[in-house]
Structure 1
């Protein structure tokens, strides 16, 4: 058996939640989903999240997310999503949830704190924080989702296998195969095959493939074998959704994560698909400073039908000055 490289859990979860907050809440926290008016756009609040995150931990909490949403009753509400991915109990976790909550409360008086527990301890289920001193007491409770509770999801409910069901399976199988890269590759292959067999459209296959590939990291030699098998699978079924150049672009983004690499990945895919990129469009892409926006543009570059459609997406998603 071959040990597998460290997995990138946080980035995969963060990107999935950024892509579809509604599906995330519907899957894990339906009671929260039902509170929200989904006809109105929600907003990701990364700058506000930086304000409430302790400086010492700012670089570690990359999976935490803060959103502003609108409730069905018309009130604005903040949703703080805290992703805790670890293999053992953390005695500071409940206090940290409380700190993040009251710092969010300082910004906005309506806050819902949620936690995803991705650890391997079945009995560790923190959902509250409290203290009492001199007649003064505080008790803070928060909803959690324990990923271990979703074990067997693939086998037991194949009809409802959505983005977050796939991510849960990828997460659990990645943790279960830390010392067995060959077994991880088998699970990764099964997951990727299922994307095609379920009849998903091109964009959804690309999004799910990206998340699975990002989390279920493999040693270089096994990854090469996986990609060769994947290419043959596409060719046999005449479904060339992801080419070698697109796979390499995803690989570069997964490994580096820098703005320069992300920009080059978008431009490289556009050049391969449409032969050339107009200078004005190239300049716009090279001016983007938001890594998450570049990730979204990479997916669009892979799946879009024309450069004109890509430019429309660029315009529609351009941040306000």
Structure 2
């Protein structure tokens, strides 16, 4: 199966930012237990950009630097790294060390460095960066989790109340169903249905569904079969959180416009739809929308159908702009 949306960093970044405490609790419970989650956490985007912008480490969309507070009242920085495609051990471990070193050098903070490994290699398990000489040694260790380690624990994942159990299942099914369209469609429906059965609120269902939908790509004909099945399911439950008759037309129109280079027309369409959906846009909000990248503009086209007022748009922009 050809993956038309191969960039998995972007949806991972979105879901990590939207559900950061559950992510840390799911992947790194010992670290999560140290943190006082009653205090606000802060994504340090400018600080991370300062340490990564001239580092020869490639494109890193999903890396996150986050300030949290320990239960004793001490400030702590978490460096969370996502790896979708495995790199050579030296490159990856060196990159983790470089980031940590630069953060300490510029801000005098030693971050807790954590890595989520989403690759397909069972044997690749980086965990430290070392250098040893007769009179000097270095042993930099960082926390890692391997998503493949959950592949035989699907029952446990399906019964978990943590939203990141669904995220892990979706990612594993991307790997498992590369050559089986029907099985992928069935799992996409099963995971989406599970969002309702677990009793998530409407916004949680939409957030998690967007992740599922982004990475479990289906051919157009099979996607329509999936939507028909989901529509029947939602009608039986008397909810229409995900299915919407307008959605396919808007998404298809945006995609065609962007592919044909009509970016300004696509942006104008988004602005018109937003005005109809949430009312007149304040100039500051309008400017934010106009400055969105092509990828973000397409994501907004998918999301806006779920907006009910201006606050929904403002929340989306805070998370994605």
Q: TM-score, normalised by structure 1?
A: 0.81
CA contact (8 A) 2:185 2:226 kept: yes
- Alignment of structure 1 residues 1-321 onto 2, 5 Å: 2-53=1-52, 55=54, 60-86=59-85, 90-108=89-107, 109-133=109-133, 135-242=135-242, 243-246=244-247, 265=270, 268=273, 271=276, 273=277, 277-278=279-280, 281=281, 283-288=283-288, 289=291, 302-303=305-306, 307=309, 310-311=310-311, 314=314
Q: 1:316 to 1:248 in 2, by over 3 A?
A: closer
Q: Post-superposition shift, 1:213? A: 0.6
Q: 1:5 to 1:231 in 2, by over 3 A?
A: same
Q: Post-superposition shift, 1:199? A: 2.4
Distance 2:40 2:254 in 1: 28
Q: Post-superposition shift, 1:100? A: 1.1
SS at match of 2:148: helix
Distance 2:316 2:60 in 1: 30
Distance 1:110 1:259 in 2: 44
**Which stretch of the first structure deviates more once superposed, 12-21 or 55-64?**
55-64
**Which stretch of the first structure deviates more once superposed, 175-184 or 28-37?**
175-184
Question: Which sections of structure 2, spanning at least 5 residues, go unmatched?
Answer: none
SS at match of 2:120: coil
Distance 2:170 2:241 in 1: 21
Q: 1:127 to 1:300 in 2, by over 3 A?
A: same
Q: 1:264 to 1:316 in 2, by over 3 A?
A: closer
After superposition, the CA RMSD in angstroms is 3.6
**Which stretch of the first structure deviates more once superposed, 48-57 or 69-78?**
48-57
Distance 2:271 2:71 in 1: 38
CA contact (8 A) 2:181 2:218 kept: yes
CA contact (8 A) 1:68 1:76 kept: yes
Distance 1:80 1:267 in 2: 39
Question: Which sections of structure 1, spanning at least 5 residues, go unmatched?
Answer: none
Count of aligned residue pairs for this structure pair:
309
Q: Post-superposition shift, 1:168? A: 0.5
CA contact (8 A) 1:263 1:294 kept: no
